[in-house]
Structure 1
């Protein structure tokens, strides 16, 4: 019975199917094989590309060697050598020129240093930059002096022209003693056309100068003096004439005698009040720019 049981058990074990292998292992093996094949293909392509590149470079080098051995290549080499020599010569000439410039600069700087030190010995131990700074300052001063000189010359030319035209130069201004008569208002307009004004007598010295000129010409001359609505005598600038030099009996009370003039038949005080519409000569005063003063 035991033998039969053992036989039955053995038969059952033989009839049982063998266990199946896992599907994951099979898929992994397949993927590895595929990856190796793909990698093998990539390596093969890389080797082919590398070989092709080497062959191309060899072919290019061979073509270059062939070209250089040809007559055209020889001319090309000669041309390159000529260009190289020319560039070298040009660089050498530029270097020589630059060195000459530096030498000339040093010579010039030495001359400048000698001049500056001659002007002021304290600059003897100064470096080149300080010397150049001094020269720059001196140059600027010279330029300013030149500009002032030009301006002064222009002023002198203007003054000379006015003096030649009959203006009388005195102190820091010049004066025009007219030859023809005008009303007081037209006299002022005539002065303005000349860039001047009817004279305002500001100082006793100027007063005496003008009076002497009037006496020498023996005529009446308008000055920039008028009477305002409040019966106060003022100069054209609007300043009240606080110090006056009226003749005896002046200013008179006659109607419309509201404008001032200088008389010649007088002693020290020569102002007179006249009718503003009266025709008489006039005195213009012009003060030039301060540049020439």
Structure 2
């Protein structure tokens, strides 16, 4: 009798779990989410393509790309916050820090939540409502990320901001392709418009994430964008090297020394790298020195395109 009773209880438990899973899958709308998508690798233009343009055409191109930078921060990030504020963020056309709570020492847009997905949702919502008519590209980064905004603008030359566009360093989790937030996330203004719209549909883009398990903020973003017909696209240079990096440059060099000892530079990083992640605050200042200040006298640099700093900027 005891054995029969135990079997009955086990059967009830298994049946209950099955019902929960069926209900969950019904909410996810699998048929829509798993729609096949041909993954693309987006490449930056070749320098020759830009040199073939007239001087006026190049100037018009450089003026047409306006990047708004969103940096998500928390009070524990004060050291990184200060470093980003003093270094690469000055090269954005406009950069703003979105904080989980008010911090006296720095100005920020206070979101009143420390949940990263909720912070990301609120930041994107405010960015769209306030700047959809002022900027055509929206770059989101963690405070431990270092970005070379001029290289980002160069990469975007071949892209149309009126088209749905979502890129960075892509990774795969099951059937989901997403952009890893550690390397930074780029959205066109059209993608942001669609994202803003799907935010209003909690069955497709829930504010609190999954019912049983919680996705990271970058995966949850990918799910919401997928409902809007927008898929993650990996960003590469013209030689098919990744330009958004989820590791510090030092780690990438060490890996290249181990795996490609005869071609460390070629095996490490793209010449047109846009981001490096996981940097300490002092490393950001070192990166700033190497990228913007160090010059070899007697060597002539011939850039295909020059991006002028925002008016009133004190960038390097």
TM-score by length of 1: 0.21
With CA pairs under 8 Å and 6+ residues apart, which has the higher RCO, 1 or 2? 2
